[in-house]
A and B are shown apart, each in its own frame.
Chain A
Amino acid sequence: MISWNYITNIVRQHRLFLLFTFIFVGLFQVLILTFVVGADLLGFVEQFLRQLPSRMQVLFGEQFMAQLSINGAVAFGYNHPLVVAMLIIVAILLPARHIAGEIEAGSLELLFAMPIKRYRIALSLWLVAGGMLLVAVAGGWTGTGCGLLLFPEARGAPILRVIGVGLSLWLLVFTISSYTMLIASHSNEGGKSTLRAAGLTLVFYFMNVAAILWPRVDFLSHFTIFHYHQPQQVMMGEPVLGKNAAVLGALALVCAGLAIRQVSRRDVPG
């Protein structure tokens, strides 16, 4: 079904970037825990939040207050824009580069002339992207684990929820990777695919922000993938992970299925 030769080659090409992402995400989790455990920030943040306009308080207030607990800090580490952005870069670049980018560069032509079915290449790419994103998220788990070991005060954090919140982040970025693959499968240029996927992701992000800020448009939240990554709720023990995983997982599967079909059927221009 898959091609280990292809998978090995992809991992080999990106191993340094993957290692960097693993360390970056891991260190970030340690840093977040250090920040929360090492300082009494509650009063300061409360004062600060009171200065903000009411809409901004809605956007940041609850999250910030929750994050000042250990559980909140752990959740925040898996929802921080830097971490999410880093993983989104990996999620978008891999399929955009290895489908549309390789069509543009001409190397996919050589690969498709080999005695291997195209769907095996596409399926392998989807799986290796998922695997690499999981490794990056595992960097977060490793960082959280190290933080919990370093700070005895933090040891109360429930491990299963930490794993759950990481899985939630993984599903979010894997979904992004899947729709990027669908976009790339219809394109002949890596740069354009990257921009389109990044643009769509930004639209989803702003839809989510709009839905939080303005109750009138909160129905939008159901149509944005970011709504289905709720690390705070997962860390607080709310049973949202199953539903969110079902939505994101289904979306990822549909996008990947359509992308694999398109890769198998499309013309490869010279």
Chain B
Amino acid sequence: MPILEVLELAKSYGSVVGVEGLTLSVEEGEIFGFLGPNGAGKTTTIRLVMSLLHPDRGSITLFGVPLRGEAASVRQRIGYLPGEFRPYVEMTGVHFLDYMARFRAGAPKLRADLLDRLELAAATLERPIKHLSHGNRQKLGIVQALEHEPDLAVLDEPTLGLDPLMQEAFYDIVRLLRERGKCVFLSSHVLSEVEKVCERVAIIRDGSLVALESIEALKHKCPRRLIVVLDATVSSKAPLLPGARLLAQHGERSEYRVDGDVRAILQELTTCPVRDVILPEPDLEDVFMAYYQDGDA
């Protein structure tokens, strides 16, 4: 059973489209990446899932229960970190965590572990939040979202303001949640972090979904770069390759874009005076750029 199912979701702000016809589902125990640049509709989607906004059309199902109205009881199983985490700044860190935790049933069983992993010391938590750095506030946000070990964690740009070490600590936390069978819906525009921790990703553009697949499948579909280094003593003319488009040539080095199967190309290359062939593994950035530069992959 999908933990989260979104069907034909639409939300507009006057004439501005927030999301349009969005359909996706997140399975149990999955770390799901939600990618898109600022303004693509990620935060609108998340706010719709959290019932902070009401959809114009479409439906959302959480844990098999159609989301109608507020569905406060369903939120017992959800942890939420907004894209712009703005807590009660007059409170101390520990007071804020206690206050939020009291709205939930049960003890915040992961708090000590999360504080330890994110290196939030007791002395830091005793200070008013307004005196905390942006990074420490973000850590506080992560702790309040995850301390009750939610079945679904909805995290909007969770590593914003975290230093690289803390980002790694956060990825470990996400992996820990996966090991425990929890589901994470991770919105980000940092492609490397999505690639590190997510199994599947959805890419959203102008409020519409343009891709929804496993990272491996996306990479496979993505146009790849092929670099051919010619033996200049024989020929310096870039060969014509089937299914490949020449992008640039710098001396003996030619760069192609390959949209389909590479086997025919490799076969063709065996007949050319080639010194080296470089076929880099596409990363998520290539996939992302392909969707955003070309319109579709």
Contact = CB atoms under 8 A, between A and B. Distances in A.
Interface in A106-133: 106-107, 109-118
B187 interface: no
A116 B87 contact: no
A43 interface: no
Given A109-B52, A268-B53, A116 B99 contact: no
Given A109-B52, A270-B47, A117 B70 contact: yes
B237 interface: no
B102 interface: yes
A5 B52 contact: no
A109 B82 contact: yes
Contacts of B72: 114-117
A114 B75 contact: yes
A4 to B, nearest CB: 9
B52 A113 contact: yes
B82 A270 contact: yes
Interface in A238-270: 264-265, 267-268, 270
B227 to A, nearest CB: 43
A9 B99 contact: yes
Interface string B58-91: 0000000000001011111010101111111010
Contacts of A110: 80, 82, 85-87, 100, 144
Contacts of B75: 113-115
Contact of A115 (B43, B54, B104): B104
Interface string B86-128: 1110100000000110111100000000000000000000000
Nearest to B46: A270
Contacts of A115: 72-76, 103-105
A5 B99 contact: yes
A107 B87 contact: yes
A105 interface: yes
A5 to B, nearest CB: 4
Contact residues on A (Cβ < 8 Å of other chain), bracket: 20 to 34
A13 interface: yes
A3 B72 CA distance: 14
B213 to A, nearest CB: 28
Residue of A106, A112, A268, A270 most packed against chain B (CB within 10 A): A270
B174 interface: no
B50 interface: yes
Interface string A77-119: 0000000000000000000000000000111011111111110
Given A5-B99, A107-B87, A113 B50 contact: yes
Contact of B47 (A114, A264, A268): A268
Instruction: Count chain A CB atoms within 10 A of each CB in B74, B76, B88, B90 and give the residue with the most.
Output: B88
Interface of A: 3, 5, 9, 13, 105-107, 109-118, 264-265, 267-268, 270
4 tightest Cβ-Cβ pairs between the two chains A and B:
A106-B86, A114-B103, A115-B76, A115-B75
